[in-house]
Amino acid sequence: MRFASLLLKELIQFFRDRVILLLILWLYTAEVIICAFALSFDVKDLPLAVLDLDRTVMSRTLIQQFTTTEAFRAVGQPRSVATAGDWLESGRARIVLIVPKGFGADIRRNTAASVQILLDGSNSNVASTVRGYAERIIHAFQKRITQGAAPPMQVTPVLRIWYNPRQSFTPFVVLSMIALAALMVGVIHPAASIVREKEVGTIEQLRVTPIRTGELFLAKTLPTLLMGLLSIFPSLLIVRGFDVPLRGSLFLFIALSALFLVSAIGIGVLVATICKTLQQALLLSFFGLVPLMFLSGTLVPVESMPEPLQVLSLASPLRHYMTITLGIFLKGADMSVLWPETLALAVIGASLFGAAAVIFRVQSGVPLR
């Protein structure tokens, strides 16, 4: 009887906690739907740049073989190989097809012909898959021009994988885990700190002190920013231990990491304004981090997701920070390349941090002075 009464009390308390109920509903509905659509290991619609130096019927036929598949989406024709390299560095293209001059003439003479394919190897799994697609397309093109016969290979793809020639998955995993850790620290720490004040009742005591709202807000957020930035330096030792290169500016990486942490802290403060207990704050933070991770491109390319999710991923600060991190470490990118992601982080960070500051002032009840 005592156990039944205790169990009934716990069930009543559980069903009264609307935040927990909403989190469970979110986990079994929206979270499953988002992950089912976003988490696909099929590579689709990767941006393809084409540099046709031959401009013959044969070269156009080969290009058509690439552009009519689901795997690739043509994004334009760079003016030169150097421009094509810039497109790979900025992420505008993930694969570049270069058809050399004389390609069609070599095929008509039944002599060996070659095409060059440049791949963005910053994500080795995607690069490996794309390499297989490209080789199959070229093999199908050869069979097409020889009417299905099987002569010796006439068209040879010359593949070059940039930024990660060994196709090791380790650099991508190490850098993505550092970015995810920064997000978790930025979200969970301020959320837990503020909710703990609510639980012990010290927020009520702060109302009668001369503390200003802005001072209290900064006191709750700046330690997380400082701790997140200091945590970068031990992570750099880990990066060095796994032989991941740092080809760009360390100062730029730290500055943009601070900008990313502002967005994460804003999310954490918003979580704290919704939750009343530490348990709620931790669960809500966790359930919010999962879709952010899926929509960031760390598991599958954003281009392979359905278009609505691609648009939704633009609101994820982790997506932009991942592009920045991979660009600085593996590609040696600078602000001339990373400015779109930096601008996106600035807009997202300012919006989240500003909204968090306003809601925090209302929730805390500390008079504005």
Strand partners, 328: none
* Predicted local confidence at residue 204, as pLDDT: 64
Rounded Cα–Cα distance for residues 300 and 285 (Å) = 22
pLDDT, residue 368, reads 44
Q: What does pTM read for this prediction?
A: 0.77
Dist. CA 20–CA 284, nearest whole Å: 8
Quick one: pLDDT at residue 272? 84
Number of H helices and E strands in the chain, helices first, is 16, 5
Distance separating alpha carbons of residues 239 and 206, to the nearest angstrom: 43
Which residue, 345, 248, 247, is CA-closest to 296? 345
Cα–Cα distance list, 22 to 33, 69, 273 (Å): 16, 41, 16
Residues with pLDDT less than 70, the chain: 1-42, 147-153, 201-209, 211, 363-369
